[in-house]
Structure 1
Amino acid sequence: SKVGKISKASKVPQSKIYGVLEELVQKQLVEVFDGRPKEFKAVLPKLAFKNLLQKKEEDLKILKSRIDFITKALKPLERDEDFFEGIWVQKNEKNWEVLNRFSEMLNNCEKYAFDITRDFSLTQPLKESIRKCVRNGVKMMSISTIKFDKENFYRVKWFYDNGLKIKVFETENHPRVLIIDGKEAAIRLENNFSKKNFYFQFVWSRNKSLVKLFDNYAKTLWKVAKPLNLSRFSP
């Protein structure tokens, strides 16, 4: 369509419509055809959505492949606890044991923390540690790997009401990850999820290279994740 026709249909002044259209072209939502005057055509919704996702996928591809490699490389432990250079691994049968480890980490947090989570599960010690961080001015950021529903509404609301910034990036089979000040990282892995001997594997590290990898991953994920608008959800 020509600019005049688009301006009339959209009720955007013709003096401003070119800027709007150019922005849409850059986002690959509109195609432009040379001519006098230029003509613009909306990209098919399916293709537009594909274009938007492509850039996000490219940003995450390298980091995510490294995370997948690390989690797959961590084999089930023969013992309940093991220690490698800069990495401590422990087998836990109860989720609260892992969450209380997260609480201990947050008690040492000074600047910022990333929590990548599916279920927003909490224990009382973890709640107290989160409140302490917020009181001390720590920037607390949570990234949900699933969309919100009635089952997790109140848990998410607790995080929201207590001053945490929350974004959403939907993905499957993602471990819970906590990063503290870019200096300390922990991962909760789920093993044998459908079996009776189900247990959690807790991996903690202050290894600079490994922590930096997770820290960069979390920062990239935060940039591409969508902000949460809790007012859109209801229990």
Structure 2
Amino acid sequence: MSHIVLLFERMYSVSIAFNLTTSLSYGRTVVLIPLGKIIVLLYDKPKSSEIMDEKLLAKIGLNRYESSVYLTLLKQDSMEASKLSHSSKVPIGKIYEVLKALKNYELVEIQPSRPQRYRAVDPKYAFKLMYKRKEEETLNELKMLKEIFDEIERELCNDNLPQNVETVFWPDRFRNNELNEMVDSFFEKIEHEICVVIHIKYRPGRSELYDASISTFSKAYLSLVQRGIKVKILDPGSQLLPSLKELIDSIEDLSFKRYIKDLMEVRILETEYNFTITDSKITVLDIEDQFNMSRNLGMTRIYDESYAKRFKAKFDELWTKGELFSLT
């Protein structure tokens, strides 16, 4: 590590130095040294190779905590969680969650010792295995998508019913209130119930576009409840959960909160399924970008009650497996 030194006159420096310390402290060693009328702010500057490594790991789905822990373990034979937390600059409250994620990626192994020690899997082996797994997942998703479209074609390709399938493609970037208007337009047509299954890929940090849209969808779901519409959501533990809870906590009307309890139910379930059913007659399927699975190109709405009935049966099956999430 190289060092950067910043100097401040003491009479102006306290708040400036504090703010800089806060902004620079992630993954850095920061030292404040008072010298007479001068305060010296000394912090470690990350090597360009470390920044490059983290950027590369981000491209395969690792967040900054996961990248930091994995890169730290690569430099060590093995480490205990507490020491790893200190060395990687990952908060101790987050370290076990991060290690669990890395183990699921098969990038980290747990050694049977007391206390447990963790070591990085050899990158040559680990990333070949990850690539193979991603390849298989993509092929399976493509196969499933083809089967769905084949079934749509068989069931709905009828010259007399051209209105039964509607496809909507998103813009590359929503401008101003475009997303709000699109969601409002879709939700205002719902009359009785919406059942939503959210894919595991939308867990926190996996999709910036999804995370950025959470506030819009949270408000839209509550507006449905306000209209007396039943809302049932299966969520993998995405940012939607704290967003909904925060909105509900901010509501002062106790009668409306009871209304929410009666009409809205959320359960946690990690699943590969991703669909929405409205009023037991419309099925909504996302059109995924095959070059970036965290991004959707648009959606297909299928207006067919028999088709929606099959998806509702799948939803009910998944619903029994979900863990109840308390909204109040």
Greater gyration radius = 2
Q: Which has the higher contact order (CA 8 A, sep 6+)?
A: 1
Q: Which has the higher helix share?
A: 2
So what's the TM-score if we normalise by structure 2?
A: 0.37
